[in-house]
Structure 1
Amino acid sequence: MKSKSELRIAIIGGGIGGSSAAVALKAKGIRADVYEQAPALGEVGAGIGIRPPSVNCFKKWGLYEDIERLTSRSDFMEIIAGDDQVFIKEAWPVLTDDKSEAYARLIHRADLLDTLIAHIPADQLHLNHRLTEVIDNGDHAEVKFANGKIIEADIVVAADGIRSPIRAQVLGQHDPIFSGYLAHRALISNDAVLGMSSEENILRIYVDGKNSVYLLPLECRKQVSVDITVPGKFAWRPEMTKELIMESVKGFGPTIQKIIENINLEDIVTRPLCDIEPMDKWSTKCVTLIGDAAHAMLHNQGQGANMAIQDADALAEAIAKAETAEEALQNYEKQRKPITKLYQNLSRLFPTDEAETAFPEKAHF
């Protein structure tokens, strides 16, 4: 492999996975250029819990202080039937060798992405670059974009999401699988949750049969991330009315219903919940997948963004240590596939009012 200073690395996709990969490689003294199809990186997504293995990545990359300022520590999660019947209150599981690391740090996706982007040199972030074709030549790849630009890279990192064009072109089609559920998401002020969720930084999941409502406090924003997960019909951009949303939560208590009733429809983003089956192969000699492109999962265990962050760290370590690009990508894939496959399978477990634990992952650690 070329010297690390000569290595040409192209990351396709500027989301959490792609941006994390660029920052992780930068921490190793390795340049990587990020190509993002959007003209600007705006506020998207919902609140998430950053788990200790991901927090440790930020410490390695020199980002921890920035992340800490934008997050709040959460020690517990609750599953609640109706408005007030808490039937599970459980500490976050330990996922590292440090038994004291039983927590999550709550943050909005946009704040996390902004922090990562701020640590990528401006000349390495290229917006308005929509990939049209990637040609895998074995020892290098050629990447073509809709704006006419063509680049060559020794390593191409596909961070282009669940419908990854690179995955389809290089490794074959792996279509997204619809779970049968839709997620209606919105951000509301602390006052708008009517006193139900802001205290103690506890992620609360209200359940009614197959329906659930997540209230995730974002202390630094003085907001709460609301996620209404209910069965529905597939569409990439579902058309939704307030009446349909209210009908889906009619089994919840009056306070939850009032919170949702008060949210303006235009402030709600509805998406189908999809994943992909675990893949046998992520990499060729010079192309690899990361994040949702490699192992898209449902949101139920809150591990999608965490897995992408940890992918990035493992990939940077592998590239820094390996003698060839092929060796680096194979070592990265070998390390990450078992844990991501586990969480892909666990993520298909939806919360119910018959659950015995908030964290099915505890059985595996």
Structure 2
Amino acid sequence: MTPHIVIAGGGVAGLTTALALHAVGFERITVVEAARTLRPAGAGLNLMPGAVRELDALGLLPALESGAALRTRELRYYHRSGALISREPRGLDAGYRWPQLSVHRAHLQRVLAEAVRDRLGSAAVVPGVRVAGVELPGGELTGGGLSGGGLSGGGRPRPRLRLVHRDGGRSGRASMEPDVLIGADGIRSAVRAALHPGETGPVWNGMLVWRGVSRLPAAAVGSFMLIAGDDRQKAVVYPMTRPARPGGEVLVNWALARPAESVPEERLLGDWRRDVDVETFLHHYEGWEFDGVSVPRVLRAAETAQEYPMVDREPLDRWSHGPTTLVGDAAHAMYPIGSNGASQSVVDARALAYALARHPDPARALRAYEAERRPVTTALQRANRRQGPEVVIDLAHRRAPHGFTDVHQVIPADELAAIAGRYAATGAFDPATVNQDSPYGAPYLPVRAPRALPGPVTFV
């Protein structure tokens, strides 16, 4: 019998993992998701060329680019005074074989969810189900997994999930014992908590993040992605769509970061996301304008805004125990720097599916997956704590706090290039590495109506 794989979490990481597993031949895949419907939410994100390569290999790039997505061609860093620090070509313009994409998270999730339903069948996703607990199989924990784990069953130990399903005002309980369990349930992962029961929660660095989406005439936001600020606060602004007609409007993503002012940490970490009025933080960004892009104008055009604490998780010394592992934010939540959150989740999914396809023993497969991915993402987590490539803004402000006319008198050109190069090398997303064909197998050939669907989950 083919193995049953359960994915906890129906976000970008979980849905991409389901598609990657199906692409390499697995058929009994169940995604359990706490939300009652896979309703797209959130603001924008950037997908780096390495992640786009993997989505293209899954046959998803045409659907992504046919709707609300824009090829990012240039990134500009500015000092808050308006002085330009650097401008870097991105995606195809930087010599990559694949574009960098600016996309609304809702559009990305919609493309992923529709592909899962089309390829795996509607029964593959069970919404409204919360993971209430995970019981790991007994036995001695070894360096990379529980001895005796295996894809083929035969009495080998398997994890046990305790699930709670809510249907209107009623709730039911169930349990599952899959052959493989993948925790894709985000920064507050229940699967991670089971693997590391003594671990503390997300780590807050004292910064607040405000995010939102605005709709503006294309001429008001330019054609580039900008990151601007000083050593205290920053702003990120970029368009995510093309205008439907000349002079038309586009969707614009924006994100701001600034230290919290007298806000209790308990409230921040309790209220994970809350709606706020733009006027509560707009005054901090008055006068911020960069080559014709006015940050206050962008903010005033937003219908809603959300406030978050800027948090990550401490890097783990292991992700996998026997036939259980982690992907995406559950494994390596990092600060929103360098466009790596969703991008690394996509690469995780492909690497994990490839490892499981190559090794019949899941413990061995998960060890191989982790050996490849954990060092890279751990290095990125630590680099992002040091501001990653955005450190050029901090350097410029410390060396010339009142602005400058020639950045190379402040930061030499070779120093700017070295900062960008080091970060790309850290995540293995330099052009030479990315431009190779995907290491995770041949491109996906569409197959509809899977031959074997997961068995039903019965709640009582």
TM-score (norm 2): 0.71
Relative to structure 1, the CA distance from residue 104 to residue 203 in structure 2 (aligned partners, 3 Å threshold; closer, same or farther) is: same
Asked whether the 8 Å contact 1:11–1:159 carries over to 2, the reply is yes
Cα deviation code 1:269-320 (max 9, x no counterpart): 1111110111101010011011001000011111010111000000000111
State which of 212, 216, 224 in structure 1 corresponds to 2:238.
216
1:229 Cα deviation (Å)? Answer: 1.4
In the other structure, the counterpart of 1:321 is 358
Relative to structure 1, the CA distance from residue 74 to residue 259 in structure 2 (aligned partners, 3 Å threshold; closer, same or farther) is: closer
State which of 20, 25, 34 in structure 1 corresponds to 2:21.
25
Question: Distance between the aligned counterparts of 1:286 and 1:102, measured in 2?
Answer: 34
Question: Distance between the aligned counterparts of 1:308 and 1:108, measured in 2?
Answer: 16
May I ask how many residue pairs the two structures share in their alignment? Answer: 352
In the other structure, the counterpart of 2:440 is none
Provide the secondary structure at the position in 1 that maps to 2:314.
coil
The correspondence of residues 1-365 of structure 1 with structure 2, limited to 5 A, is: 6-31=2-27, 32-70=29-67, 71-82=69-80, 84-92=82-90, 99-101=95-97, 103-120=99-116, 121-137=121-137, 139-147=157-165, 148-172=173-197, 173-191=199-217, 195-199=219-223, 202-220=224-242, 222-232=250-260, 233=263, 234=265, 235=268, 236-237=272-273, 240-250=276-286, 252-253=288-289, 255-264=294-303, 267-350=304-387, 351=390, 352=393, 354=395, 357=416, 359=420, 361-362=423-424, 364=426
Provide the secondary structure at the position in 1 that maps to 2:282.
helix
1:203 Cα deviation (Å)? Answer: 0.9
Relative to structure 1, the CA distance from residue 108 to residue 128 in structure 2 (aligned partners, 3 Å threshold; closer, same or farther) is: same
Could you tell which deviates more after superposition, 80-89 or 130-139?
Answer: 80-89
Query: How well do the aligned residues superpose, as a CA RMSD in angstroms?
Result: 2.4
Question: Distance between the aligned counterparts of 1:107 and 1:240, measured in 2?
Answer: 23
Question: Distance between the aligned counterparts of 1:23 and 1:115, measured in 2?
Answer: 11
Asked whether the 8 Å contact 2:275–2:306 carries over to 1, the reply is no
TM-score (norm 1): 0.89
Cα deviation code 1:313-349 (max 9, x no counterpart): 0000011110201111111111101111121112223
Question: Distance between the aligned counterparts of 1:323 and 1:39, measured in 2?
Answer: 34
Asked whether the 8 Å contact 2:43–2:105 carries over to 1, the reply is yes
Provide the secondary structure at the position in 2 that maps to 1:119.
helix
1:108 Cα deviation (Å)? Answer: 1.1
Asked whether the 8 Å contact 2:75–2:90 carries over to 1, the reply is yes
Provide the secondary structure at the position in 2 that maps to 1:347.
helix
Relative to structure 1, the CA distance from residue 245 to residue 333 in structure 2 (aligned partners, 3 Å threshold; closer, same or farther) is: same
Question: Distance between the aligned counterparts of 2:102 and 2:278, measured in 1?
Answer: 28
1:353 Cα deviation (Å)? Answer: 5.0
1:151 Cα deviation (Å)? Answer: 1.3
1:250 Cα deviation (Å)? Answer: 4.1
Question: Distance between the aligned counterparts of 2:18 and 2:327, measured in 1?
Answer: 12
Relative to structure 1, the CA distance from residue 162 to residue 209 in structure 2 (aligned partners, 3 Å threshold; closer, same or farther) is: same
Question: Distance between the aligned counterparts of 1:242 and 1:99, measured in 2?
Answer: 38
Bigger CA radius of gyration: 2
Relative to structure 1, the CA distance from residue 255 to residue 163 in structure 2 (aligned partners, 3 Å threshold; closer, same or farther) is: same
Cα deviation code 1:92-138 (max 9, x no counterpart): 389xxx95348511111111111111111211001000010111115
Question: What is the letter of the counterpart of residue 70 of structure 2?
Answer: S
Query: Unaligned stretches of 5+ in structure 2?
Result: 139-156, 166-172, 244-249, 397-410, 431-460
Question: Distance between the aligned counterparts of 2:55 and 2:275, measured in 1?
Answer: 38
Question: What is the letter of the counterpart of residue 189 of structure 1?
Answer: R
Question: Distance between the aligned counterparts of 1:276 and 1:306, measured in 2?
Answer: 17
Question: Distance between the aligned counterparts of 2:349 and 2:180, measured in 1?
Answer: 14
Could you tell which deviates more after superposition, 11-20 or 80-89?
Answer: 80-89
Question: Distance between the aligned counterparts of 2:241 and 2:295, measured in 1?
Answer: 20
1:8 Cα deviation (Å)? Answer: 0.8
Cα deviation code 1:240-291 (max 9, x no counterpart): 4544302332463493234324434xx0011111101111010100110110
Asked whether the 8 Å contact 1:91–1:102 carries over to 2, the reply is no
